[in-house]
Structures are given as structure tokens and as C-alpha cells.
Chain A
Amino acid sequence: GAVVSQHPSRVICKSGTSVKIECRSLDFQATTMFWYRQFPKQSLMLMATSNEGSKATYEQGVEKDKFLINHASLTLSTLTVTSAHPEDSSFYICSAIGHKYGYTFGSGTRLTVV
């Protein structure tokens, strides 16, 4: 079946630094990637949608200059949290769809900003 590999699984960073999260589709071409954020005891909140080779579409209220999304190839999408602050601490999850595959989720990244 389809697999999306997400790294790192956990990251702790200092306030003001940037963190990059990668999602790779291992056995299919991901035409579209979705990035979600989940705070404790909350649901998955859609942050942005990205299609390979084009700019990401951000949801209302999500700062595009803070959460940089790059979908440079059909197998790789990255989310960079720039100038991270403690309020950015959350669980970030990617999801990908391809021509023959439905929604496949990565395993998630627990970000802690100290």
C-alpha cells in the first residue's frame, strides 16, 4: 500500500529558530499534499494544500511567511516553521494523494519550541 514517510518524528528547537519537516511518498507520486496541525485534544486543522510545482494555498488565518511549504517534486513536500515560538508547539501531520491512491497520512511530527 501507499506509504508517506514523515521526518523528524520529534523535534525540540529554541525560540526564534527555524525547523523543517519533510514528507516523502515512498511508492507513489503525490500530486497533492496537505499539511495539518493538531493541538492537544483538538482536531486536525488544515493549514495548507500544495500541488507539485506550484505555490501552496493557505487556509485563512495561517501565515504563509511563517509556514513555508515547498512541493518541489512529486515525492517530496516540506514544511518549514520559521522563527518558531512556543505557541507553534504542536503535532504536524502531512497527507498525500496520488492518481491511484486515496489520502495517505504521514506519522506526524511533534514540535516543541522552548
Chain B
Amino acid sequence: QKEVEQNSGPLSVPEGAIASLNCTYSDRGSQSFFWYRQYSGKSPELIMFIYSNGDKEDGRFTAQLNKASQYVSLLIRDSQPSDSATYLCAVKREQAGTALIFGKGTTLSVSS
């Protein structure tokens, strides 16, 4: 089982809709979770991080964490064509170093 799993997509939504991106992880002891956006040929950009169960909102973005289900999600409200990118879920390793372990990423396409 991979440490971090995401549906690779593509996920297509119309402009103005809500995009929902999902991620599951295998290490039950994981404490820190991150969402990054990556454009082709560029390095990842941090969108937000979440440590506690529940929702965390930042502008149009909401991260949701359910540690019991080992599940993290990212909601993007009022999606814009500029949101079209690959979204990477990352989980901080709690043992053997502090590296971020990334999922495959979900490609989001927002059509105008």
C-alpha cells in the first residue's frame, strides 16, 4: 500500500463550481498534512496545511481532515480557470526523518 494515495484524475469542473480533491494515507500516526499546487515544469506551491481534525478555511480553499478515516480533502470554491493545475497531497513522516511524502497528484481542469 502506498503511503499517500490520490485519484490522478483528471477532474473537470466548470468555472464557479466547487472542486473536491481527496487523499488517503496509510500511517495512522501521521499528524501533519499539506496541500500543494503544481504547474507543469514548476516546483510545488503551498496552498495550506492542516494538523487537527475538522475543517480549516483559507479564502476559497477548505482543507478537511479525518484522522480516524485517514482521509484528507481539499475543497476549492468558485473554481477559476487559473486553478487548473495538479494538486498534490503531502503527509509529513513522523518516523525516520521529517520529509514530506507526496501522493501522485490530481489534475484539475476548470473550464470557462
Q: Footprint of B on A, CB under 8 Å?
A: 32, 34, 36, 42-46, 49, 57, 91, 93, 95, 97, 102-103, 105-108, 110
Contacts and interface: CB of A to CB of B under 8 A. Distances in A.
Interface in B95-112: 96-105
B72 interface: no
Interface of B: 34, 41-44, 46, 49, 88, 96-105
Closest CB pairs A-B (n = 3): A105-B43, A43-B104, A44-B102
Chief secondary structure at chain B's binding surface: loop
Nearest to B4: A43
Nearest to A103: B100
Contact of A43 (B41, B46, B88, B97): B88
B44 A49 contact: no
A43 B102 contact: yes
Contact of A44 (B44, B96, B97, B98): B44
B100 A107 contact: no
21 contacts: A34-B100, A42-B104, A43-B88, A44-B88, A44-B102, A46-B99, A46-B101, A46-B102, A57-B96, A57-B97, A91-B41, A93-B43, A93-B44, A95-B100, A97-B98, A102-B46, A103-B34, A103-B46, A105-B44, A106-B43, A107-B42
Contacts of B49: 102
